Amino acid sequence: MTRSILNDLRDVKDVDQNGDRVLRTKITNAGDISQLRGETNAAGENISAVKALYSNGTNVFLGDANEMFAEAVIVGISVTAATTGNEVRYFIDGTFYDSSFSFTDGEPVFLAENGNLTQTDPIALGYNYRTVVGFAIGVNGLNINIQEPIEI
């Protein structure tokens, strides 16, 4: 069962304009976080941090734009790593900063293969689906804004 990770974290200090609790903290293994809402769920496979995830209703897995439609329907971006059967934390919206990102500011960020993120349009890569997961905020920021996949 999915539950809000904000219930698990002690440094929730704020409420956004919708009345939802938001997190303002720093996660050392996956970057800086600002105004993020998240979830936890059991990993259906080994998952590393900063990967796009899809859900089968029970577990989360690495999303993939070059597989079936269900795998291109992204539920969030992992912020922790997890092995199969263990809980993985992921964020569903907000702005996420990570030093591993090397984005072009303002441009869309797409789902690639194996949960990876890219700014190369999936049409150019020959993928089956085009799923926008957000937009770059500077070089190291991602404003998570997950959209429905479009079949290519």
The string of pLDDT tens digits covering residues 17-61 is: 555 444 433 333 344 444 567 899 999 999 999 999 999 999 999
Lowest model confidence (mean pLDDT) among 93-102, 107-116, 131-140: 93-102
What is the reported pLDDT for 6?
35
How far is C-alpha 97 from the geometric centre of its chain's CA atoms?
Answer: 12
Residue 123 DSSP symbol: H
Closest CA to 133 of 152, 112, 105: 112
Residue 119 DSSP symbol: S
DSSP letters for 41-109:
EEESS-B-SS-EEEE-SSEEEE--TTS-HHHHSEEEEESS-B-TTSEEEEEEEEEEE-TT--PPTT-EE
For residue 11, the enclosing domain spans 3-151
| Percentage of the chain exceeding pLDDT 90 | 72
59-62 and 31-43 as β-strands: parallel, antiparallel, unpaired? Answer: parallel
- The phi, psi pair for 30, rounded to 5°, reads -145, 15
Rg over alpha carbons for the chain, rounded to the nearest Å, is 15
Overall domain count for the chain: 1
